[in-house]
Structure 1
Amino acid sequence: MNISSLPEQSPTGRFTRGLSWVLRLIAAAAFLAAGIAKLMGVPMMVGVFDQIGVGQWFRLVTGVIEVVGALTLLLPITVAISGALLAAMMLVAAGIHLFVIGGSPVPAIVLMLITATVAWLNRQHFIRLD
Protein backbone atom coordinates (compact mmCIF):
# COMPACT_ATOMS: atom_id res chain seq x y z
CA MET A 1 0.00 0.00 0.00
CA ASN A 2 1.52 3.31 -1.03
CA ILE A 3 1.01 6.61 0.74
CA SER A 4 -1.08 8.13 -2.06
CA SER A 5 -3.84 5.58 -1.43
CA LEU A 6 -4.29 6.66 2.20
CA PRO A 7 -7.38 8.76 2.88
CA GLU A 8 -6.76 12.51 2.90
CA GLN A 9 -8.85 13.13 6.02
CA SER A 10 -7.28 11.68 9.11
CA PRO A 11 -9.19 11.32 12.40
CA THR A 12 -7.18 14.26 13.71
CA GLY A 13 -8.48 16.40 10.85
CA ARG A 14 -12.04 15.37 11.55
CA PHE A 15 -11.54 15.99 15.27
CA THR A 16 -10.08 19.43 14.59
CA ARG A 17 -12.96 20.36 12.27
CA GLY A 18 -15.48 19.06 14.81
CA LEU A 19 -13.82 20.97 17.64
CA SER A 20 -13.76 24.09 15.52
CA TRP A 21 -17.48 23.81 14.79
CA VAL A 22 -18.39 23.21 18.43
CA LEU A 23 -16.34 26.23 19.55
CA ARG A 24 -17.74 28.36 16.70
CA LEU A 25 -21.32 27.50 17.65
CA ILE A 26 -20.72 28.24 21.34
CA ALA A 27 -19.05 31.56 20.56
CA ALA A 28 -21.64 32.52 17.93
CA ALA A 29 -24.48 31.86 20.37
CA ALA A 30 -22.78 33.87 23.12
CA PHE A 31 -21.93 36.83 20.88
CA LEU A 32 -25.34 36.82 19.21
CA ALA A 33 -27.12 36.85 22.58
CA ALA A 34 -24.86 39.58 24.01
CA GLY A 35 -25.02 41.66 20.85
CA ILE A 36 -28.80 41.52 20.65
CA ALA A 37 -29.05 42.45 24.34
CA LYS A 38 -26.85 45.47 23.71
CA LEU A 39 -28.79 46.54 20.62
CA MET A 40 -32.14 46.13 22.36
CA GLY A 41 -30.99 48.29 25.27
CA VAL A 42 -31.35 45.70 28.03
CA PRO A 43 -31.06 47.76 31.26
CA MET A 44 -28.07 45.78 32.52
CA MET A 45 -26.17 46.51 29.29
CA VAL A 46 -27.10 50.19 29.41
CA GLY A 47 -25.80 50.31 32.99
CA VAL A 48 -22.52 48.64 32.09
CA PHE A 49 -21.88 51.11 29.29
CA ASP A 50 -22.84 54.00 31.58
CA GLN A 51 -20.08 52.79 33.92
CA ILE A 52 -17.59 52.68 31.07
CA GLY A 53 -18.33 56.35 30.52
CA VAL A 54 -17.84 56.62 26.77
CA GLY A 55 -21.50 56.88 25.85
CA GLN A 56 -24.30 54.64 24.66
CA TRP A 57 -23.10 54.86 21.06
CA PHE A 58 -20.29 52.52 22.18
CA ARG A 59 -22.90 49.97 23.34
CA LEU A 60 -24.53 50.07 19.91
CA VAL A 61 -21.24 49.75 18.04
CA THR A 62 -20.22 46.87 20.29
CA GLY A 63 -23.58 45.18 19.74
CA VAL A 64 -23.25 45.44 15.96
CA ILE A 65 -19.71 44.06 16.07
CA GLU A 66 -20.85 41.14 18.23
CA VAL A 67 -23.81 40.26 15.98
CA VAL A 68 -21.76 40.54 12.79
CA GLY A 69 -18.91 38.63 14.44
CA ALA A 70 -21.28 35.85 15.52
CA LEU A 71 -22.56 35.44 11.98
CA THR A 72 -19.14 35.60 10.34
CA LEU A 73 -17.79 32.93 12.70
CA LEU A 74 -20.09 30.52 10.87
CA LEU A 75 -18.77 31.31 7.38
CA PRO A 76 -15.66 29.37 6.29
CA ILE A 77 -14.20 32.30 4.38
CA THR A 78 -14.39 34.70 7.36
CA VAL A 79 -14.00 32.37 10.34
CA ALA A 80 -10.29 33.00 10.97
CA ILE A 81 -10.39 36.79 10.79
CA SER A 82 -13.66 36.90 12.72
CA GLY A 83 -12.21 34.71 15.46
CA ALA A 84 -9.09 36.87 15.69
CA LEU A 85 -11.03 40.14 15.81
CA LEU A 86 -13.50 38.84 18.40
CA ALA A 87 -10.59 37.55 20.50
CA ALA A 88 -9.00 41.01 20.37
CA MET A 89 -12.32 42.58 21.35
CA MET A 90 -12.59 40.24 24.34
CA LEU A 91 -9.05 41.13 25.39
CA VAL A 92 -10.16 44.77 25.50
CA ALA A 93 -13.36 43.77 27.35
CA ALA A 94 -11.32 41.89 29.98
CA GLY A 95 -9.14 44.98 30.42
CA ILE A 96 -12.20 47.19 30.81
CA HIS A 97 -13.52 44.86 33.51
CA LEU A 98 -10.19 44.83 35.30
CA PHE A 99 -9.33 48.52 35.13
CA VAL A 100 -12.54 50.50 34.56
CA ILE A 101 -15.80 48.96 35.72
CA GLY A 102 -14.81 46.10 37.97
CA GLY A 103 -16.58 42.79 37.97
CA SER A 104 -15.25 39.50 36.79
CA PRO A 105 -13.26 39.42 33.56
CA VAL A 106 -13.63 35.62 33.40
CA PRO A 107 -16.47 35.49 30.80
CA ALA A 108 -14.51 37.80 28.49
CA ILE A 109 -11.34 35.75 28.99
CA VAL A 110 -13.17 32.49 28.25
CA LEU A 111 -14.67 33.95 25.07
CA MET A 112 -11.25 35.32 24.13
CA LEU A 113 -9.70 31.86 24.49
CA ILE A 114 -12.52 30.23 22.52
CA THR A 115 -12.36 32.71 19.64
CA ALA A 116 -8.55 32.72 19.57
CA THR A 117 -8.65 28.92 19.36
CA VAL A 118 -11.16 29.14 16.51
CA ALA A 119 -8.87 31.57 14.68
CA TRP A 120 -5.88 29.26 15.23
CA LEU A 121 -7.73 26.12 14.12
CA ASN A 122 -8.84 27.90 10.95
CA ARG A 123 -5.62 29.82 10.28
CA GLN A 124 -5.44 28.36 6.77
CA HIS A 125 -8.39 30.65 5.90
CA PHE A 126 -6.38 33.83 6.44
CA ILE A 127 -5.71 35.54 3.13
CA ARG A 128 -2.09 35.27 2.04
CA LEU A 129 -0.66 38.58 0.96
CA ASP A 130 2.65 37.40 -0.47
Structure 2
Amino acid sequence: MRATTTAREHTEMTTPAATTAANNTTTATDTATHAAKPAKSGKALLRTVWTLRILMALFFALASALPKLLALPAATEVFDAMGVGAWFMYLTGVVELAGAVGLLLPRLAGPAATALIAFLLCAFAVQLTAMHGENAGTPFLFMVPLAVIAWARRTETAALLRRTGR
Protein backbone atom coordinates (compact mmCIF):
# COMPACT_ATOMS: atom_id res chain seq x y z
CA MET A 1 0.00 0.00 0.00
CA ARG A 2 1.08 3.51 -0.65
CA ALA A 3 1.32 5.95 2.27
CA THR A 4 1.28 9.17 0.27
CA THR A 5 -1.41 10.59 -1.94
CA THR A 6 -0.95 12.59 -5.08
CA ALA A 7 -2.16 16.16 -5.35
CA ARG A 8 -4.93 15.07 -7.72
CA GLU A 9 -6.18 12.37 -5.30
CA HIS A 10 -6.13 14.91 -2.44
CA THR A 11 -8.14 17.39 -4.53
CA GLU A 12 -10.70 14.72 -5.47
CA MET A 13 -11.19 13.72 -1.83
CA THR A 14 -11.65 17.29 -0.56
CA THR A 15 -13.84 18.77 -3.29
CA PRO A 16 -17.30 19.92 -2.21
CA ALA A 17 -18.88 17.21 -4.37
CA ALA A 18 -16.86 14.48 -2.65
CA THR A 19 -17.60 15.90 0.79
CA THR A 20 -21.33 16.17 -0.01
CA ALA A 21 -21.41 12.63 -1.38
CA ALA A 22 -19.70 11.34 1.74
CA ASN A 23 -22.12 13.28 3.97
CA ASN A 24 -25.13 12.04 1.99
CA THR A 25 -23.95 8.47 2.38
CA THR A 26 -23.54 8.95 6.12
CA THR A 27 -26.91 10.69 6.42
CA ALA A 28 -28.69 8.01 4.41
CA THR A 29 -27.09 5.29 6.50
CA ASP A 30 -27.93 7.09 9.75
CA THR A 31 -31.51 7.67 8.60
CA ALA A 32 -31.94 4.03 7.65
CA THR A 33 -30.50 2.92 10.98
CA HIS A 34 -32.75 5.27 12.96
CA ALA A 35 -35.79 4.38 10.87
CA ALA A 36 -35.32 0.70 11.70
CA LYS A 37 -35.40 1.34 15.45
CA PRO A 38 -38.94 2.78 15.58
CA ALA A 39 -40.15 -0.06 13.39
CA LYS A 40 -38.85 -2.55 15.93
CA SER A 41 -40.36 -0.66 18.86
CA GLY A 42 -43.58 -0.24 16.85
CA LYS A 43 -43.77 -3.99 16.36
CA ALA A 44 -43.15 -4.54 20.06
CA LEU A 45 -45.92 -2.09 20.92
CA LEU A 46 -48.25 -3.80 18.46
CA ARG A 47 -47.53 -7.20 20.00
CA THR A 48 -47.99 -5.84 23.51
CA VAL A 49 -51.31 -4.21 22.66
CA TRP A 50 -52.55 -7.37 20.91
CA THR A 51 -51.57 -9.41 23.97
CA LEU A 52 -53.42 -6.99 26.25
CA ARG A 53 -56.46 -7.08 23.96
CA ILE A 54 -56.56 -10.87 23.99
CA LEU A 55 -56.04 -11.15 27.75
CA MET A 56 -58.66 -8.51 28.53
CA ALA A 57 -61.13 -10.08 26.07
CA LEU A 58 -60.62 -13.48 27.70
CA PHE A 59 -61.14 -11.99 31.14
CA PHE A 60 -64.30 -10.09 30.24
CA ALA A 61 -65.80 -12.97 28.23
CA LEU A 62 -64.89 -15.98 30.36
CA ALA A 63 -64.28 -14.78 33.90
CA SER A 64 -66.77 -11.94 34.05
CA ALA A 65 -69.58 -12.25 31.47
CA LEU A 66 -69.98 -16.02 31.37
CA PRO A 67 -70.84 -16.51 35.08
CA LYS A 68 -73.48 -13.78 34.78
CA LEU A 69 -74.98 -15.09 31.55
CA LEU A 70 -75.09 -18.64 32.94
CA ALA A 71 -76.52 -17.32 36.24
CA LEU A 72 -73.90 -19.14 38.27
CA PRO A 73 -74.52 -18.98 42.03
CA ALA A 74 -71.52 -16.72 42.70
CA ALA A 75 -72.85 -14.13 40.25
CA THR A 76 -76.46 -14.29 41.41
CA GLU A 77 -75.38 -13.89 45.05
CA VAL A 78 -73.51 -10.68 44.24
CA PHE A 79 -76.44 -9.17 42.34
CA ASP A 80 -78.89 -10.28 45.05
CA ALA A 81 -76.68 -8.60 47.65
CA MET A 82 -76.83 -5.38 45.62
CA GLY A 83 -80.61 -5.58 45.59
CA VAL A 84 -81.05 -5.55 41.82
CA GLY A 85 -82.91 -8.07 39.73
CA ALA A 86 -81.59 -10.82 37.53
CA TRP A 87 -82.19 -8.60 34.49
CA PHE A 88 -79.34 -6.34 35.61
CA MET A 89 -77.02 -9.33 35.95
CA TYR A 90 -77.82 -10.43 32.39
CA LEU A 91 -77.47 -6.87 31.08
CA THR A 92 -74.07 -6.57 32.75
CA GLY A 93 -73.00 -9.90 31.23
CA VAL A 94 -74.09 -8.81 27.74
CA VAL A 95 -72.22 -5.49 28.05
CA GLU A 96 -69.06 -7.30 29.17
CA LEU A 97 -69.33 -9.85 26.36
CA ALA A 98 -69.88 -7.11 23.77
CA GLY A 99 -66.81 -5.30 25.12
CA ALA A 100 -64.76 -8.49 24.91
CA VAL A 101 -65.75 -9.04 21.28
CA GLY A 102 -65.04 -5.38 20.49
CA LEU A 103 -61.53 -5.65 21.93
CA LEU A 104 -60.73 -8.37 19.39
CA LEU A 105 -61.95 -6.37 16.38
CA PRO A 106 -59.23 -3.92 15.29
CA ARG A 107 -61.61 -1.10 14.28
CA LEU A 108 -63.59 -1.40 17.51
CA ALA A 109 -60.76 -2.09 19.97
CA GLY A 110 -60.30 1.58 20.95
CA PRO A 111 -64.00 2.37 21.40
CA ALA A 112 -64.54 -0.97 23.19
CA ALA A 113 -61.68 -0.25 25.60
CA THR A 114 -63.05 3.24 26.24
CA ALA A 115 -66.57 1.90 26.83
CA LEU A 116 -65.23 -0.77 29.19
CA ILE A 117 -63.37 1.92 31.16
CA ALA A 118 -66.67 3.81 31.55
CA PHE A 119 -68.34 0.54 32.53
CA LEU A 120 -65.65 -0.09 35.16
CA LEU A 121 -66.07 3.43 36.55
CA CYS A 122 -69.73 2.54 37.09
CA ALA A 123 -68.64 -0.73 38.72
CA PHE A 124 -66.38 1.28 41.02
CA ALA A 125 -69.33 3.48 42.04
CA VAL A 126 -71.45 0.39 42.70
CA GLN A 127 -68.65 -1.15 44.76
CA LEU A 128 -68.49 2.00 46.90
CA THR A 129 -72.22 2.35 47.42
CA ALA A 130 -73.98 -1.01 47.24
CA MET A 131 -71.04 -3.18 48.32
CA HIS A 132 -69.76 -0.80 51.06
CA GLY A 133 -66.34 -0.36 49.45
CA GLU A 134 -65.57 -4.07 49.33
CA ASN A 135 -63.14 -4.65 46.42
CA ALA A 136 -63.61 -1.04 45.28
CA GLY A 137 -60.09 -0.86 43.85
CA THR A 138 -60.49 -3.92 41.63
CA PRO A 139 -61.98 -2.06 38.63
CA PHE A 140 -58.90 0.17 38.49
CA LEU A 141 -56.65 -2.85 37.96
CA PHE A 142 -58.47 -3.51 34.70
CA MET A 143 -58.69 0.14 33.67
CA VAL A 144 -54.91 0.40 33.26
CA PRO A 145 -54.53 -2.14 30.42
CA LEU A 146 -57.76 -0.86 28.86
CA ALA A 147 -56.34 2.67 28.90
CA VAL A 148 -53.20 1.40 27.14
CA ILE A 149 -55.37 -0.25 24.48
CA ALA A 150 -57.51 2.88 24.04
CA TRP A 151 -54.40 5.06 23.75
CA ALA A 152 -52.72 2.70 21.26
CA ARG A 153 -55.85 2.63 19.07
CA ARG A 154 -56.61 6.37 19.33
CA THR A 155 -55.97 7.14 15.64
CA GLU A 156 -58.31 4.34 14.52
CA THR A 157 -60.93 5.54 17.01
CA ALA A 158 -60.64 9.12 15.70
CA ALA A 159 -60.94 7.88 12.11
CA LEU A 160 -64.03 5.86 13.04
CA LEU A 161 -65.59 8.93 14.65
CA ARG A 162 -64.82 11.02 11.55
CA ARG A 163 -66.46 8.41 9.31
CA THR A 164 -69.61 8.39 11.42
CA GLY A 165 -69.73 12.20 11.33
CA ARG A 166 -69.23 12.79 15.06
Q: Same fold (TM over 0.5)?
A: yes
- Whether the aligned pair in 2 keeps the contact of 1:88 and 1:112 (CA below 8 Å) is no
| 1:25 partner letter | I
Question: Which of 9, 16, 21 is the matching residue for 2:50?
Answer: 21
SS of residue matched to 1:104: coil
SS of residue matched to 2:130: helix
TM (normalized to structure 1)? 0.88
- CA-to-partner distance for each residue in 1:13-60, whole Å, 9 max, x for gaps? 112111111111111111012101100001111111112223111110
Question: Which of 40, 53, 69 is the matching residue for 1:11?
Answer: 40
Identify, as 1 or 2, the structure richer in helix.
2
Structure 2 gaps of 5+ residues are 1-27
Deviation at 1:12, TM superposition (A): 2.1
Give the distance between the partners of 1:7 and 1:113, measured in 2 at CA. 29
- Whether the aligned pair in 2 keeps the contact of 1:32 and 1:70 (CA below 8 Å) is yes
Indicate yes or no: 2:96 matched with 1:66: yes
Determine the structure 1 residue equivalent to 2:141.
Answer: 110
CA RMSD of aligned residues (A): 2.1
Structure 1 gaps of 5+ residues are none
TM (normalized to structure 2)? 0.70
Determine the structure 1 residue equivalent to 2:87.
Answer: 57
